[in-house]
Amino acid sequence: MISANLSAIFYLVSGVLFILALRGLSSPETSRQGNLFGILGMVIAITVTFLSTGNFSSGFIFVLIFILAGGSIGALIAYKIPMTAMPELVAGFHSLVGLAAVFVAISAFLNPEAFNLGTPGNIKLGSLIEMSIGAAVGAVTFSGSVIAFLKLQGIMSGSPITFKGQHPLNAIILISIIVLIYLLCSTQSSNLFWILLTVSFLIGFLLIIPIGGADMPVVISMLNSYSGWAAAGIGFTLENTALIITGALVGSSGAILSYIMCKGMNRSFFNVILGGFGATEDTSSSSSKEQRPVKSGNADDAAFLMKNASSVIIVPGYGMAVAQAQHALREMVDTLKKNDIKVSYAIHPVAGRMPGHMNVLLAEANVPYDEVFELEEINNDFANADVAFVIGANDVTNPVAKTDPQSPIYGMPVLDVEKCKSVLFVKRSLSPGYAGIDNDLFYKENTLMLFADAKKMTEDITKNL
């Protein structure tokens, strides 16, 4: 048994180690070391908790059993999961943090003596407020993440689900949560606690169903943030510095990522959360349904164009992940490089289904990270490049975002693909992208459409090179 002061210092140390873990991610070289700091911080926090409770009775054995059981499941998932499934995995993990926060709050509410919070029915007011906020945010994180997971996994349709009176209903539920917390704190009634949890689960579900597939980067980042705030709420209840620091770090991390994602789409956070994008879809796509000529080609034409180029820029998108084309793409690029062609990759901030999704897939395919560039770094290079190879991306290349103020994506930062001497566009069909608008790029003089599955087309091009 160690003193409360000593354990508080150790919790502070593990909090600092978590800060260093995030700091390590500023460059790939330091990131692996950063991850080890994170693991060390976690080991310290858990060990200190054991030492400070000083309880090594039969309960301790069960704690170890549950840690090992959960740990083996987690390790198994971590090794089995394909990289294309990272968005689902992260959404699934968020739901677990949320649910764990809810369970800890329930446990503390039922047995406050164990946490020095008072007695049942007479919990300290401050602790009760913190506990109920932590539980409510945890519940929202859980049910929201489950919906996000189902949508990403394709079990639930990725299209937005909207109904009449959705926004007023959500507003009423949010207000009722605040009222419930107030009533709970003044009456200490356990019935109100269970109602609060139920209503919070419900709002998490309702908040995420109207949000469509391509807005998932914002949703995942937002839920990341929520899971942090839930942890911080529980940290206040338990008076635990490690949890408070971590909760604040994760909360602000998720908030920043949501901000970056929203900026990448030139939309406000509330616009995404209220889920308006799907609603305008029909009008804009039907009005511009005139037939325009497109040039389409085959793998042979594409190989010819690329062979005669001196620099090629690859623009990957979600379609590449769906077709699992990253390895085939790398092989194509290897062949190009053997012919002394300069190749780089251009990544739009919202390409894929979560922040950094494309970067991970390219890294998996052994693409060196110093060949991969962000939008601002590479956008000026398109004018000097010979060929842009767009694979599975669409809206993020649409020049209409710069020219047509009527367009729903007007103002969104896009890759200046049209400035390339020629554009190769791998796509299954001419159908518009997620935003439901036609891409002018399809009809440009210098664009060659390659209608095929991304992986198959890439392999065929490699054969023809």
Hey, which residues between 224 and 263 contact other proteins (CB under 8 A)? 224, 227-228, 231-232, 234-254, 256-257, 260
Binding mask 124-153 for other proteins (x = CB under 8 A): --x---------------------------
Q: Give strand ranges (E) for 275-359.
A: 311-316, 342-347
* 106 near other proteins, judged by CB under 8 A: yes
Residue among 89 and 294 whose Cβ is closer to other proteins: 89
188 φ, ψ (degrees, to nearest 5): 60, 20
Q: Identify residues 168-197 at the interface with other proteins (CB under 8 A).
A: none
Binding mask 351-380 for other proteins (x = CB under 8 A): ---xxxx-xx--xx-x-xxxxx-x------
Whether 301 sits among the annotated catalytic residues: the reply is: no
Residue among 290 and 370 whose Cβ is closer to other proteins: 370
- Could you give the CA distance from residue 252 to residue 44 in angstroms, rounded to a whole number? 23
Q: Which residues pair with 315 in a beta bridge?
A: 390
- With contacts defined by CB under 8 A, name the span among 104-112, 162-170, 269-277, 455-463 that binds other proteins: 104-112
- Could you give the CA distance from residue 272 to residue 15 in angstroms, rounded to a whole number? 33
Residue among 114 and 178 whose Cβ is closer to other proteins: 114
Residue with tokens 């009760």: 128
Show Cβ contacts of residue 441 under 8 Å, excluding neighbours closer than 6 positions. 390, 397, 398, 399, 417, 418, 423, 425, 447
Q: Identify residues 261-300 at the interface with other proteins (CB under 8 A).
A: none
Interface residue with other proteins among 103, 179, 182, 282 (CB under 8 A) is 103
User: How many residues line the site for other proteins (CB under 8 A)?
Assistant: 116
Residue among 239 and 301 whose Cβ is closer to other proteins: 239
Least CB distance to other proteins at residue 94 (A): 7
Kindly state the helix (H) or strand (E) to which residue 36 belongs, with its residue range: helix 28-53
Q: Which of 215, 381, 395, 438 is catalytic?
A: 395
280 and 436 Cβ atoms separated by less than 8 Å: yes
Least CB distance to other proteins at residue 198 (A): 16
Interface residue with other proteins among 3, 57, 291, 406 (CB under 8 A) is 57
200 and 140 Cβ atoms separated by less than 8 Å: yes
**320: Cα separation from own chain's centroid:** 17
* 118 near other proteins, judged by CB under 8 A: no
Interface residue with other proteins among 6, 9, 68, 178 (CB under 8 A) is 68
Residue among 92 and 276 whose Cβ is closer to other proteins: 92
Nearest Cα residue to 299 out of 320, 319, 324, 328:
328
Q: Which residues of 217-237 are buried (b: 16+ CB within 10 A; e: fewer)?
A: bbbbbbbbbbbbbbbbbbbbb
Interface residue with other proteins among 93, 205, 443, 451 (CB under 8 A) is 93
* 27 near other proteins, judged by CB under 8 A: yes
- With contacts defined by CB under 8 A, name the span among 83-91, 148-156, 291-299, 444-452 that binds other proteins: 83-91
**CA distance readout (Å), 285 to 210, 278, 289:** 20, 12, 7
Reading the block at residue 276, the tokens are 């308006």
Residue among 255 and 452 whose Cβ is closer to other proteins: 255
Residue with tokens 């299954």: 428
Active-site annotation, residues: 395
